[in-house]
Amino acid sequence: MNIIFEDKALEELYAEGVTKSSNYRKLSKDVIKQYIKVVNFIRAARRLEDLFYIKSLHYEKKKGDLNGVDAVWINKQYRLLFNSSANDEGIVVNALLFEISKHYE
């Protein structure tokens, strides 16, 4: 799947394992390591449906305030939020990563 980082801090976290962004500076090394692993899972998926088979991701399409946003677990406390889009054939192959969210906050 094609990965696009909307937030430069998320791209820095993925590429370098650290960021200067105040939003993500306090994340533990374990959370960052797991975030990189989750992004690699998304990148390796050929289409969105492939994420359903990785049970540890707990993939879901959000409702309510985040209606239409895709989410996967980084761990029990943090979620990676992204928007997905399809190619010309209707197969979802693009993921726009935009936030690491603390669950229930």
Domain of 66 in residue numbering reads as 2-102
36: tokens are 């990189």
The CATH number of the domain holding residue 93 is: 3.30.2310.20
The CA angle 10-62-77, to the nearest 5 degrees, is: 55
pLDDT tens column, 5-26:
999 999 999 999 999 999 898 8
Number of domains the chain is built from: 1
**For the segment 49-75, what is each residue's pLDDT rounded down to a tens digit?**
889 999 999 999 988 888 989 999 999
DSSP the chain: -EEEESSHHHHHHHHHS----TTTTT--HHHHHHHHHHHHHHHH-SSGGGGGG-GGG--EE--GGGTT-EEEESSSSEEEEEEEEE-TTS-EEEEEEEEEEETT-
Which pLDDT does position 89 carry in this prediction? 81
C-alpha gyration radius of the chain? 13
Rounded Cα–Cα distance for residues 30 and 22 (Å): 18
pLDDT category of residue 46 using cuts at 50, 70 and 90: confident
β-partners of residue 78 are: 102
pLDDT above 80 for 105? no
Mean pLDDT of 83-98: 86
